[in-house]
């Protein structure tokens, strides 16, 4: 044993070929990420639904909570202005009506300087009311008329 190597031939290079250019792989990964991000943004309204659909849904849950006497859920679905106007137990009777309410239509509207949806509700006795829904950390009921 004359040298520091175990074998007489010496160490061999591990990478004997010419290096390969992997720019295509890197560009493919980044391009795929961008395409996936754009697809998710496009698909988001399809998953969450449009403003009209969200307004219908929140009013349906709100009316079901009122009918069941669930003031906590109904109070959570009120906008900040309604909750700040007083105790929820004092505000909710303005929204209550005997019988079951059914959402019959949604129209665009405004509440102050904010876009809103005007959701028409028809009760069992034929009376109609309009609930205003605003987008405030999710759709929230923010007023009634009729």
Whether the pLDDT of residue 22 is over 90: the answer is no
- Residues 134-144, mean pLDDT to the nearest whole number: 88
The pTM of the whole model exceeds 0.85: no
The DSSP-derived string for 77-141 is TB-HHHHHTS-HHHHGGGT--SS-EEEEEEEEEEETTEEEEEEEEEETTS-EEEEEEEESSSEEE
Q: How far apart are CA 98 and CA 119, in angstroms?
A: 18
Assigned token pair, 30? 């980044």
Whether the pLDDT of residue 2 is over 60: the answer is no
pLDDT tens profile 29-56: 999 999 999 999 988 877 776 778 888 8
Q: How far apart are CA 129 and CA 146, in angstroms?
A: 4
Query: Cβ(91)–Cβ(78) under 8 Å?
Result: yes
pLDDT band per the 50, 70, 90 thresholds, residue 10:
low
Query: Cβ(101)–Cβ(63) under 8 Å?
Result: yes
pLDDT tens profile 64-121: 998 888 889 988 999 888 888 888 888 888 888 888 888 898 888 888 888 888 999 9
């Amino acid at each position: 044993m004359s040298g520091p190597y175990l074998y007489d031939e010496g160490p061999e290079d591990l990478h004997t070929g010419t290096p390969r250019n992997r720019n295509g792989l890197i560009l493919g990964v980044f391009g795929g990420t961008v395409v996936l991000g754009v697809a998710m943004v496009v698909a988001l309204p399809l998953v969450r639904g449009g403003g009209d659909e969200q307004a219908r849904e929140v009013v349906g849950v709100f009316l079901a909570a009122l009918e069941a006497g669930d003031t906590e859920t109904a109070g959570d679905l009120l906008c900040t202005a309604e909750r700040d106007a007083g105790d929820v137990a004092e505000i909710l009777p303005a929204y209550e009506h005997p019988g079951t309410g059914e959402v019959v239509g949604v129209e665009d509207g405004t509440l102050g300087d904010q876009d809103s949806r005007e959701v028409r509700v028809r009760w069992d006795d034929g009376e109609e009311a309009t609930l205003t829904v605003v987008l405030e950390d999710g759709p929230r009921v923010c007023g009634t008329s009729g």
